[in-house]
Chain A
């Protein structure tokens, strides 16, 4: 099992450019999440998908959109990148949204916006 995979690993964008971060999990999990982590900080939830076909905003959703493409894949889109979106982005999954289940995290995408 690969677990949670993310592409790309690194990306540099210019202000105003758009891009999509991809995430896939092979654990047959129902719930998936996108977080961002700024230097020296903890993770902040951007969006999550409790189950296929549903998405909900987290703590910091502004400037982002998400798509739950199918049960395996959950993508994060930046329509018009800003320097404030420079961060490390982590995708995670869990069997269900209930607190009974732990989250599994991907390796992260390091994004720099100049």
Chain B
């Protein structure tokens, strides 16, 4: 089983922020937290990753809890193109769970 736990689905309204949670209570000190997303009929696409500090890039922000047992992917303004399945994985484990299916409503 994957070492991460995510909600099966979430909904958001267009142009509102979205916070996608991930629990990884058994994370080791060297595990990087990676987020990928998968649009229908496509391969997964890298979103962001981090180790201990919060990270920002042009796609999203990653907030990592101080004890590293959870993290949150933040999409600052959801668009219809952000509708996808979002996967949180521990890079050392390379196991993808079922992810969170994000629906964005216009």
Q: Which residues of A contact B34 (CB under 8 A)?
A: 99, 102-103
Q: Could you list which residues of chain B lie within 8 angstroms of chain A, going by C-beta atoms?
A: 2, 30-32, 34, 36, 42-46, 49, 51, 87, 90-92, 94-99
Q: Which of B30, B42, B43, B98 contacts A41 (CB 8 A)?
A: B98
Distance in angstroms from B74 CB to nearest chain A CB is 18
Residue of B nearest to A103 (CB): B46
Q: Could you list which residues of chain A lie within 8 angstroms of chain B, going by C-beta atoms?
A: 4, 33, 35, 40-45, 48, 58-59, 90, 92, 98-100, 102-108
Q: Which residues of A contact B42 (CB under 8 A)?
A: 107-108
Distance in angstroms from B60 CB to nearest chain A CB is 13
Distance in angstroms from B100 CB to nearest chain A CB is 11
Q: Which residues of B contact A41 (CB under 8 A)?
A: 98
